[in-house]
Amino acid sequence: MSSIKTDSPAAVRDGEQLDVDKLNTYFSQQVPDFGVITEVSQFPGGYSNLTYFLKTDNQKEYVLRRPPFGSKHIKGGHDMGREFRVLSLLKAAGYSKIPAPIVYCEDESVLDCPFYVMERVQGVILRAHSAPKMGLEPTLLRGLSEALVDNMVALHAIDIQATGLINLGKPEGYVQRQVDGWYKRYQAAQTDEVPVFEQVHDWLVQNRPAENAPTLIHNDYKYDNMVLNAHDLTDIVAVLDWEMTTVGDPLMDVGTSLSYWSEATDGPFEKSFNLTWLPGNFTRQEFADRYAQQSGRDLSNILYYYVFGLFKNTVVIQQIYARWKQGFSKDERFAGLIMGVHALSNTAAKGIERGRI
């Protein structure tokens, strides 16, 4: 295995700079001992909220999260206050695998948007573009697959009543609201006719299952949202990106993870989002089997949740593509995402046709 490097930020992308003077003024007034920002850079990857590295003159390191530029038209998305609240509740509940939240700012005169700051957690983040070059051994990836599933089971076991996390959402009717809500978001962001997407939506409406008892659900649980111990990559140090966290049917969380979980025989678009196709990783079925074994939940209908995950990811990609097409983003990674809308819709339809994940 080649040398393992901790996750490092890079230069801030064009058009995504922060106003450091306004930030320093805000922190000097609101956060004692924060220090003066001397360095700003940006973490790579991700298609949603923007993540920045801040270093101060007193050698402290922080991470700042803000919505993407041009995202104000996406109703209900990119809720920084909610993400900060989730971290605060998890910290109070004693869940340790998170960065400590520092401050939430809803005053849009500082950055023209709400944002929050948390501590920086050092570690390794395995990303789809870099992990295949790292020479990761199959036995290591097997162990990491197990750790990832087992940590999801632990998240789903948190007592949402005792911790107050139940107040993050309304679990009753969660599955139906998700299918309906994501379809409305798709309609609002639609740019092209994609008949197969409509067929997948119809199948989800017609085959909705009875709901499972609610738990906390992360809703974006995948490799590149895990910070790993540089000395033992099977040790998850922190889970990131809690922006879509709520309470609801835990199998919706599993389905979302499976929708990211590409295999060696999947298409290039699906494989571009994760490293799960590398030898040693679980297959999707092995992921589901491990979760069922560790949680005691019945996953016999996991196909529905997997198809929903693909459906939801399709809508997210459509929203990002629409934002790029309207000129709100200059990030050229987004220019070809309409092909991803077709690819994921076709993958969902094929799953339905073969009757398995």
Domain boundary among 119, 142, 173: 119
Rounded Cα gap, residues 125 and 307, in angstroms: 27
Query: 24 with 141, same domain?
Result: no
C-alpha to C-alpha distances, 264 to 218, 231, 269, 276, 278, nearest whole angstrom: 26, 27, 12, 8, 7
Q: pTM of the predicted model, to two decimals?
A: 0.88
Q: What per-residue string of b and e applies to 269-283 under the rule 16 or more CB within 10 Å gives b?
A: bbbebbbbbbeebbe
Q: Are residues 35 and 136 in the same domain?
A: no
Placement of tokens 């025989």 in the chain: 265
In a domain, 25, yes or no: yes
Tell me, yes or no, whether 98 and 156 share the same domain: no
Same domain for 302 and 169: yes
The H or E element containing residue 56 is strand 50-56
Same domain, 161 and 307: yes
Tens of each residue's pLDDT in the chain, 357 residues? 445 667 788 899 888 999 999 999 999 999 989 999 999 999 876 557 899 999 999 999 999 999 988 655 444 456 899 999 999 999 998 999 999 999 999 999 999 899 999 999 999 999 888 899 999 999 999 999 999 999 999 999 999 999 999 999 999 999 999 999 999 999 999 999 999 999 999 999 999 999 999 999 999 999 999 999 999 999 999 999 898 899 999 999 999 999 999 999 999 999 988 999 999 999 999 999 999 999 999 999 999 999 999 999 999 999 999 989 888 877 888 888 999 999 999 999 999 999 999
Q: How far apart are CA 133 and CA 36, in angstroms?
A: 37
Q: Are residues 173 and 310 in the same domain?
A: yes
Residue 145, amino acid = S
Q: Which residue among 78, 96, 119 closes a domain?
A: 119
Is 222 within 8 Å of 284 (Cβ atoms)?
Answer: no
CA distance linking residue 125 with residue 145, whole number of Å: 14
Structure tokens at 328: 């709100």
- Considering its fold, how many domains does the chain have in total? 2
Query: What are the structure tokens assigned to 283, written together?
Result: 């297959």
Helical H segments across the chain, by residue range? 20-30, 80-92, 108-111, 138-156, 160-163, 174-189, 195-206, 250-260, 268-271, 284-295, 302-325, 337-354
Please check whether residue 264 lies inside any domain of the structure: yes
Bridge-partner residues for 101, per DSSP? 118
Note whether 102 and 213 are same-domain residues: no
Q: What is the dihedral of CA 120, 48, 225, 131, to 10 degrees?
A: -100
Check: CB of residue 303 under 8 Å from CB of residue 167.
Answer: no
96: which 2 tokens? 């340790």
Q: What range does the domain containing 79 cover?
A: 20-119
267: in domain: yes
Where residue 75 sits, what CATH number does that domain have? 3.30.200.20
Helix %, strand %, coil % of the chain (to 5): 45, 15, 40
Q: Please report, in angstroms and rounded to a whole number, the separation of the first and last CA atoms in the chain.
A: 31
CATH for 179: 3.90.1200.10
Query: Which residue, among 11, 14, 19, has the nearest Cα to 37 in the 3D structure?
Result: 19
8 in a structural domain: no
Residues 346 and 247 in one domain: yes
**Does residue 42 sit in helix, strand or coil?**
strand
